[in-house]
């Protein structure tokens, strides 16, 4: 009832103000009283309307800004994705150019292949490549990269092949020291390293020496880089030296390889100095 009464009072005062506003004389009596009563309510209503308009306008402005930010964020993500793709394409082209240049430096027919898998077990160090019998790949063929020898084909299927890496203990490369021509057998060891076995104590082997394939094992062509001597231990007991070797190939980053198709006879690889 109070609200109804208040509304009636405001309505009456508004009517009085409307009538009073038609005369040019100053408001007296009821007119002044109406102004006194109605003005606070008009002020409150005006402030409320302005507040609501401000909130409404600000809300729509924030919604517009939020949509614009979302659009800019999507455009930024798309630009970053394109940038990453272009970077990957550039790196792939660099690797393929390196393979192509290496291919031109040898006299044997080679087949480029992409690494599509790695053996997850700790027992074997192998990779899977996307070339197989259909492409002319056979068991026992050497696998190389510009950095040097990677491994040897151990299993072949229609379109795939498994390659045993030289860091596997079951693999071996007949090698020699490029400087002194000391000969031995490079086999896999722990932690992605190799060892140079059966090197006599009398042979000259030093840290930093480069090991290359000798070509005498009938698998790997002569002259391909195998690794660099990282440690030499000469014991008074026994007739052989203990030689540790770091492979030239970074097997953690191996993505493309070359399979040497025709049988090795003689291949010369000049070490860059």
CATH number for position 166: 2.40.10.340
Q: How far apart are CA 139 and CA 153, in angstroms?
A: 5
pLDDT recorded at residue 192:
86
pLDDT recorded at residue 53:
63
Q: Which residues of the chain have pLDDT under 50?
A: 2, 4-5, 17, 21, 23-28, 34, 266-273
Whether 7 and 69 share a structural domain: yes
Structure-token match 């690889």, residue found: 269
Whether 68 and 141 share a structural domain: no
Residue 272 in domain: no
Whether 91 and 115 share a structural domain: no
Q: What pTM was computed for the model? A: 0.62
What is the maximum alpha-carbon separation in the chain? 130
pLDDT recorded at residue 11:
56
218-262 residue pLDDT tens: 889 888 999 999 999 988 778 999 999 999 999 988 888 999 987
For helices 2-20 and 30-104, what crossing angle results, to 10°? 100
pLDDT recorded at residue 269:
44
pLDDT recorded at residue 266:
44
Q: Of 162, 167, 137, which is closest to residue 150 (Cα–Cα)?
A: 167
Whether 67 and 134 share a structural domain: no
Tally of domains within the chain: 2
Of 75, 104, 133, the residue at which a domain comes to its end is 104
Q: Which domain holds residue 216?
A: 110-260
Of 104, 133, 149, the residue at which a domain comes to its end is 104
Whether 61 and 169 share a structural domain: no
Whether 156 and 250 share a structural domain: yes
Residue 5 in domain: yes
pLDDT recorded at residue 143:
94
Q: How far apart are CA 99 and CA 118, in angstroms?
A: 21
Of 76, 104, 132, the residue at which a domain comes to its end is 104
pLDDT recorded at residue 40:
62
Q: How far apart are CA 170 and CA 98, in angstroms?
A: 29
Q: Of 137, 136, 217, which is closest to residue 128 (Cα–Cα)?
A: 137
Whether 82 and 177 share a structural domain: no
Q: How many CA atoms lie within 13 A of 84 on its CB side?
A: 6
pLDDT recorded at residue 210:
95
Residue 206 in domain: yes
| Torsional sign, CA 186, 182, 144, 264 | negative
Q: How far apart are CA 172 and CA 98, in angstroms?
A: 26
Q: How far apart are CA 152 and CA 49, in angstroms?
A: 83
Q: Evaluate whether 150 touches 256 at the Cβ level (below 8 Å).
A: no
pLDDT recorded at residue 124:
79
Whether 162 and 95 share a structural domain: no
Whether 121 and 98 share a structural domain: no
């Amino acid at each position: 009832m109070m609200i109804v009464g208040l509304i009636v009072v405001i309505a009456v005062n508004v009517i009085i103000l409307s009538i009073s506003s038609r005369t040019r004389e100053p408001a007296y009596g009821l007119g002044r009283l109406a102004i006194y009563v109605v003005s606070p309510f008009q002020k409150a209503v005006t402030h409320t309307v302005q507040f609501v308009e401000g909130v409404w306008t600000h809300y729509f402005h924030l919604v517009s800004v939020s949509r614009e930010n979302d659009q800019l964020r999507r455009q930024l993500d798309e630009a970053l994705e394109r940038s990453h793709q272009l970077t990957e394409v550039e790196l792939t082209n660099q690797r393929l150019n390196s393979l192509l240049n290496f291919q031109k430096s040898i006299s044997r027919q080679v087949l480029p292949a992409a690494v599509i898998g790695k053996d997850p077990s700790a027992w074997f160090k192998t990779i899977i490549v996307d070339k197989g019998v259909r492409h002319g790949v056979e068991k026992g063929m050497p696998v190389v990269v510009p950095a040097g020898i990677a491994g040897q084909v151990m299993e072949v299927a229609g379109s795939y092949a498994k390659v045993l890496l030289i860091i596997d203990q079951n693999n071996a490369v007949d090698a020699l020291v490029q400087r002194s021509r000391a000969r031995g057998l490079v086999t896999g060891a722990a932690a992605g390293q190799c060892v140079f076995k059966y090197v006599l104590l009398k042979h000259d082997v030093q840290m930093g020496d480069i090991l290359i394939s000798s070509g005498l094992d009938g698998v790997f062509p002569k002259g391909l880089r195998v690794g660099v001597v990282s440690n030499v231990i000469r014991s008074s007991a026994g007739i052989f030296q203990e030689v540790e070797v770091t492979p030239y190939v970074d097997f953690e980053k191996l993505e493309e390889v070359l399979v040497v198709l025709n049988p090795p006879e003689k291949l010369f690889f000049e070490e860059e100095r």
